[in-house]
Amino acid sequence: MNLNLLQLAFSASLKEGLEKIEANHFGIIFGTDSNGCVTGLATDGDIRRKILSGVSLNEKLEDCLNTDFVSADKFTSRETLLKKLDHKIRIIPILDENRRLLDIITHTYFPTQLEDSIYVRARSPVRISFGGGGSDLTHYFVDEPGAVINATINIYAHALLKVRNDESIRIVSSDLDQSIEAENLEELLGKESSFGLIQSTIKAIQPAFGFELYLNSDFPMKSGLGGSAVVSATVLGCFNQLRNDKFDSYELAELAYQAERVYQGIAGGWQDQYATIFGGINFMEFKYEKNQVYPLRVHNDIVSELEENLILCYTGVNHDSGDIHVNQKKEMSKSNVKELVKQNVALTYEIRDQLLRGKLFEFGNSLHQAWELKKQFGENISSKQFDDIYDFARNNGAIGGKILGAGGGGYFLFYCHPFRKQTLVKALRERGHEVRNFKFEGEGLKTWSIRESLANKSN
């Protein structure tokens, strides 16, 4: 669109106006002032009628301009423009904030909306695990099949990504209360920082552009909720949203595992990555040749009852799952520990059936059995402090429970007797423990894009 053919200084002659109209083929001319701002418009009919009334072709265009005309700006919706066209309006000038001509809309010319800049968001949930911990470690299931059962809940990590026009990178973490900046990807990946997990995740993606990345979580670090995998998943989700050939859920989980376990060298299992990305209540089987995730169709009534009877109790101690898993790897070489994990795997199949059939009292007892087995995997999984918390909870209404994650701190998950939950919650809080209710989250990693202009536009 040649906008020069559509506008003319209002001091020009009517003859010049007709010449422009003849050249632009739209039958209209916009008059502009010395700053290029549109002051009015004239159609070929307006000028012709003026000449027929006896006015000379050398008279100024200004005398023929209609200053009361319909216009729009770049934020005007397609719906509004269509309604204006449908209401006998022949042409609509699109003007900027200074009333300079940007484009026009007519019945035959309706330019395609240009792509706006966007930002991307991702949200991914943490998991609680019911059984099978330890069997998702590669050094276990390379010899024996592993199985775990877990569920995602409505506690999340969040990420926001904005692509830059240059190669520079800025990452801000509310959890760390820190930020990191680099001129390019190579510089970012070479820096020593507290952002090791994020740097490893970005290394797995290798983005070919600069960006700004903002991260925050609803949970404390090292809480036993699989938080590292959850944060990594949100970062992956943001970059995946920008890809044409998107990674599927298994590939995303593998990338998250690669970032944390391979690049960063933190020991641990596979379940956290699958749990947060797939979401829901899942039964997972681990074999050397293939890992498989099976969503469980637990009846809605059973899910609701679980939500009412399960609570999270914070031990007040953060754990280092990597160190615990390193110890477990050493312990796993012992035949008695391997046998304990094998029993835990068998118990996981029982827990699966209990959930599917709604046998929740048995489910609570199975959590207790799972904890009794897990405590024997290594000496740093429990302690006198944690045993005291567990025994106190059992004496005040908990049927069973277990520390989540690798152990050594974080959250206890307790299944309460339906008529004693409030008694237990009150007793734990009076003892100084943080108690948290939750709901199950059926959706895993979620990503979406927003037009930046819409997000920043004020009404």
Sign of torsion over alpha carbons 360, 285, 254, 139: positive
Out of 44, 248, 272, 320, pick the active-site residue: 272
Q: What's the length of the chain?
A: 459
Non-local (6+) Cβ contacts of 86 within 8 A are: none
Beta-bridge mates of residue 216: 158
Which CA distances in Å does 330 have to 154, 279, 333?
34, 31, 6
Q: Are 226 and 272 in contact (CB under 8 A)?
A: yes
Q: From 455, 408, 404, select the one nearest 150 (Cα to Cα).
A: 404
Q: Are 440 and 154 in contact (CB under 8 A)?
A: yes
- The angle subtended at Cα 369 by Cα 366 and Cα 372, nearest 5°, is 155
Which CA distances in Å does 228 have to 28, 198, 231?
63, 9, 5
Is 272 noted as a catalytic residue in this protein?
A: yes
CA distance 376 to 382: 9
Q: State the CB neighbour count (10 A cutoff) for residue 88.
A: 6
Which residues are designated catalytic? 272
